[in-house]
Amino acid sequence: MSEQPATPPGTHEKREHWSGQTAFILAAIGSAVGLGNIWRFPGQAYENGGGAFMIPYVIALLTAGIPILFLENAIGHRFRGSAPLAMRRVARRAEGVGWFHVAICFVIGLYYTVIIGWAVSYFFFSFNLDYAEDPATFFARDFLQLGEPGTVSLTFVPSVLIPLVAVWVVTIVILALGLHNGVERLNVVGIPLLVVTFGILVVRALMLDGAAEGVEALFTPDFSALRDPQVWIAAYGQVFFSLSLAYGVMLTYASYRRRRSNITAPGLVVAFGNSSFEILAGVGVFATLGFLAHQQGIAVADLEGLTGVQLSFITFPTVIAQMPGGQIFGALFFGSLVVAGLTSLISVLQAVSSALQDKFGWHPRGSAVAVGIVSAVLSVIGFGTTTGLFLLDVVDQWSNQLGIVAGAVAMIAASLWFAGRSSELQRHLAAVSTLRPGRGWLILVNVVALLLLSMFVQKTTTLINDGYEGYPGWYLAVFGWGTLAFLLAAALAMPLLRWRRNIARFHVWPTRAQLGLPDHPHDEYEPEGRPR
């Protein structure tokens, strides 16, 4: 590597760029703020100790969220590529780790879209309050036309299918417009819009009768929860999902920053911005639930359906139906879900598309359209049917709960333990950023990896021993473990294919010498033109 002269930043690079730091921050917040903030966080917090959950949550954010965000940003920024390319430059054998992340993104994209599609429908239903009479029956029977859990059906449900296809079309168009005109614009418009609409919603929610009791229920601490390891696992899980960590998304987004870019300070803005939105969502959702409890004359604790799909599509519609001005409230809520979801969805697909561009030299537009169309077809076939909800539940559990933990450990192990890039990444961050992480950062990342490893073992054991939600064994084998097998297959097979670009034509900056480090044995910037 050192025969080549140090390249000034910027040359030799055809990679797309954000137009500036603000665009990057908005895009990263766009990825982070998603369904996880609006429908996952409030339920998680409530179930895991209420106000006391804030303690493990904040600890998880500081000890794992921010350190891993810095790590991903450092890898993407220094090695300037999508997950597979950047990991390949970390160490030749680490390429598969990048593909593992890309495969998770691909899988998530397939069903994240489905939920956005539901939200689109509910946005329109809100104007006439179509769901008002009996939201639970409306959702399961009239809207999803649910079949039997643990079966596979190919009966399509038009009311799910049409918005799903529409979401895919919009997504493909945005991706095809490119990083600058598509992804960046969506976020620059979408995130401020989201903050305003959601802000209005929260203010309105706080003015409802019973709002105070709702918020109190969310924040009343149950300190005994802190002794339960599951609560801690939930906190770490929430932080990872919510900050889009270990998906290769933050890595890819950082690779679009210019070489001379402050990495850590914007990272903090993203992390704290995301958590602020999350807590705001918690307040809004629980204020609303307080109103519902008040209407029914019961305590918030006695309400049912406070998490996930039920919270958004059954409990919320129930409240909306009883509320003065429910139509507007409903439209604001589902509109916010759509915008928050879309900016996250775009980020996972960009991570996939970017990897294919890097590997096969595809043009950004072609790659975006190819990824979009293949995903759209699979998404429609898998999730547009009467059994889509169950499939979503199982695939999510294996890819998002299990796969992601494995992916995070693999990334840390490959870059720090096997390739020995600790000092290099730490000094890289320190060289380009205003806020300079020290050794403490590395210690945290290593400890987190051990913690994640134990979480992985625990989760795997539970899934093997107890199955999941009573689904039949064959179903979990095919769609749960099968998903994991797909991720592994991608990680093993993709590195066998040839790079269609000369990835050796690359210079790191600052060079290792500039960082005060000796040459690295894994730096394989080969003589140009040598086939591999």
Q: Which residues bind ligand PHE (CB under 6 A)?
A: 31-32, 34-37, 241-242, 244, 247, 249, 344, 347-348
DSSP conformation class of 478: I
* Nearest residue (CB) to ligand PHE, 31 versus 261: 31
Q: Write phi, then psi, for 499 (nearest 5 degrees).
A: -75, 130
H helix runs in 361-481, sequence order: 364-383, 388-396, 404-412, 422-432, 439-466, 473-475
Element housing 290 (H / E): helix 264-296
Distance CA 431, CA 509 (A): 10
* Nearest residue (CB) to ligand PHE, 138 versus 247: 247
Q: In the complex, what is the shortest distance from the CB of residue 73 to ligand PHE, in angstroms, rounded to a whole number?
A: 14
Distance CA 229, CA 251 (A): 29
Q: In the complex, what is the shortest distance from the CB of residue 319 to ligand PHE, in angstroms, rounded to a whole number?
A: 22
Distance CA 464, CA 341 (A): 31
Distance CA 283, CA 456 (A): 31
* Nearest residue (CB) to ligand PHE, 253 versus 286: 253
DSSP conformation class of 4: S
Q: In the complex, what is the shortest distance from the CB of residue 68 to ligand PHE, in angstroms, rounded to a whole number?
A: 13
Q: In the complex, what is the shortest distance from the CB of residue 65 to ligand PHE, in angstroms, rounded to a whole number?
A: 11
Distance CA 44, CA 321 (A): 25
List, as own/partner pairs, every contact residues 176-183 make where C-beta atoms lie below 8 angstroms and the sequence separation is at least 24, other chains included: 176/365, 176/368, 176/369, 176/372, 178/16, 178/364, 178/365, 178/368, 179/16, 179/17, 179/18, 179/256, 179/350, 179/364, 180/16, 180/17, 180/18, 180/19, 182/346, 183/27, 183/346, 183/347, 183/350
Q: Which residues of 221-235 are buried (b: 16+ CB within 10 A; e: fewer)?
A: eeeebeeeeebbbbb
Distance CA 508, CA 523 (A): 10
* Nearest residue (CB) to ligand PHE, 233 versus 281: 281
* Nearest residue (CB) to ligand PHE, 31 versus 367: 31
* Nearest residue (CB) to ligand PHE, 119 versus 249: 249
* Nearest residue (CB) to ligand PHE, 36 versus 67: 36
Residues contacting 90, CB < 8 A, separation 6+: 75, 79, 414, 415, 419, 421, 522
Residue 510 token pair: 């600052």
Q: In the complex, what is the shortest distance from the CB of residue 347 to ligand PHE, in angstroms, rounded to a whole number?
A: 5
Residues contacting 485, CB < 8 A, separation 6+: none
Q: In the complex, what is the shortest distance from the CB of residue 23 to ligand PHE, in angstroms, rounded to a whole number?
A: 18
Q: In the complex, what is the shortest distance from the CB of residue 116 to ligand PHE, in angstroms, rounded to a whole number?
A: 11
Q: In the complex, what is the shortest distance from the CB of residue 462 to ligand PHE, in angstroms, rounded to a whole number?
A: 22
Q: In the complex, what is the shortest distance from the CB of residue 34 to ligand PHE, in angstroms, rounded to a whole number?
A: 2
* Nearest residue (CB) to ligand PHE, 323 versus 392: 392
Distance CA 385, CA 141 (A): 13
How many Cα atoms sit within 13 Å of 195 on the Cβ side? 12
Q: In the complex, what is the shortest distance from the CB of residue 42 to ligand PHE, in angstroms, rounded to a whole number?
A: 12
Distance of CA 450 to the CA centre of its chain: 22
* Nearest residue (CB) to ligand PHE, 36 versus 364: 36
* Nearest residue (CB) to ligand PHE, 35 versus 332: 35
